[in-house]
Amino acid sequence: MYLNLIKIFLPMTVAFFLGIFSTPVATHFFYKYKMWKKYSRSAVTSTSEFSKIHNKEDELRVPRVGGMIIWISVLATVLIFYLVSVLFNGTFSYEINFLSRNQTFIPIFTLLIGSLLGLWDDFIQIYGTGKFAHDDKSWRKWKIFIIASLSLLIGIWFFYKLGMDSLHVPFMGDIHLGILIIPFFIIVALATFSGGVIDGIDGLSGGVLASIFAAYSAIAFASNQMDLAAFSAVVTGAILAFLWFNIPPARFYMGETGIMGLTITLATLAFLTDSVFIFPIVALPLVITSLSVILQLISKKFRGGKRIFRLAPLHHHFEAIGWPSYKVTMRYWVVSVMFAIIGIILAIISR
């Protein structure tokens, strides 16, 4: 038990301090090369309410690639503990290594590839020109195609390499999906990524994602998946380091290099811990954020342009009705922690 706890919390602590101490160097690099958007969202929106709550100057003067700090800290931590297990013979050094084929290979691969694809997207909006640099609808369709393609590869690995062909339904038992688990994973990954629009207020996405990854660390621990629990804890530690510098006023934004990698990785954790149907509870802030956008679009299309919310995503609606951004952020954090705890309890008692 004690060794398992050390295996989880020691790498988490290392990831946190790696993120903290590397941030000043990263920040200097971000600002030196002016790694912020060249075109504001308010330039392509006709909603006057959005312009009122949106700080165009910050968006065009604050770097958007802060998510690099998260995934680089995670990968560095994975490498450190792997090298320790290789270089030093002993039970302790062997046990604290959490790199394993059946548990953490896929989430680490997903985090790396997703983050690099997101970094490519960020660079297009930082250094690019033309409609893609404005993040127009055609580019968003390409991003969906890219994420679906990556999810297809991961789903194939789940089915053919790990033999995953069923999912647990809480309080009911397992349902057999067979090869249909591949398209189902693609749907879950795309739905999770759609919740990435939560990255719209300083500190909001970092606090919410930290709670969700911490919950999956606990769920994996309860399922005796110690490598997966350690990995989820490491991501939590790295996000907390990012959050230290992302609270208002943010030194940098997470950007697609953070959101894309983290959200798709969450989908893999939900499948690997066999808690897909509890995932919407654990990640409720992401779910309601995505749903608010979908409902707003449907309402505009079928109700003659009428809106359900003053603004979408939902956190901007709260800003539009007068909530200060820091209150929106803190209340989202509270909701995220509460539903993460509820998700952990359900995952444990529903087996």
pLDDT 10s digits, 262-285: 999 999 999 999 999 999 999 999
Domain of 36, in residue numbers = 2-277
Burial profile 94-107: b = 16 or more Cβ within 10 angstroms, e = fewer? eebbbbeeebbebb
Q: Whose CA is closest to 164, among 254, 103, 90, 246?
A: 103
Does residue 211 lie in a domain region? yes
Whole-number average pLDDT of the chain: 90
d(CA 150, CA 118): 12
pLDDT value of position 287: 95
Cα separation, 219 vs 283, whole angstroms: 13
Tally of domains within the chain: 1
Q: Is pLDDT of 137 > 90?
A: no
Counting residues of the chain whose pLDDT is more than 70, the rounded percentage is: 92
Whether residue 285 is preceded by a cis peptide bond, meaning omega within 30 degrees of 0, is no
Instruction: Please report the pLDDT score of residue 335 as a whole number.
Output: 97
- The predicted pLDDT at position 267 comes to 96
Instruction: Write the pLDDT tens digit of every residue in 286-331.
Output: 999 999 999 999 999 888 888 999 898 999 999 999 999 999 999 9
**Residue 210 belongs to some domain of the structure:** yes
The Cα 134–Cα 132 span in angstroms is 5
Is residue 175 predicted with pLDDT exceeding 90? yes
Angstrom distance (rounded) from CA 10 to CA 86 = 18
Q: Is residue 288 part of a domain?
A: no
Q: What pLDDT score does 217 carry?
A: 97
158 assigned to some structural domain: yes
Question: Residue 181: inside a domain, yes or no?
Answer: yes
Lowest mean pLDDT among 17-21, 246-250, 252-256, 344-348: 246-250
The verdict on residue 165 lying in a domain is yes
* pLDDT at residue 342 is higher than 90: yes
- Tens digit of pLDDT for each residue in 82-98? 999 988 887 788 789 99
CA 280/CA 321 separation, integer angstroms: 26
| Residue 42 predicted with pLDDT over 60 | no
Look at residue 88 in the predicted model and tell me its pLDDT: 86
* pTM of the shown model: 0.94
pLDDT tier for residue 136 given thresholds of 50, 70 and 90: low
Say if residues 212 and 263 touch (Cβ distance below 8 Å).
Answer: no
Q: Smallest Cα–Cα separation from 167: which of 261, 278, 7? A: 278
Residue 236 has pLDDT above 50, yes or no: yes
Query: Mutual orientation of helices 204-222 and 256-272 as an angle, nearest 10°?
Result: 20
Phi, psi of 174 (to 5 degrees): -95, 145
201/334: higher pLDDT? 334
Any domain includes 305 = no
> For residue 304, is it within any domain?
no
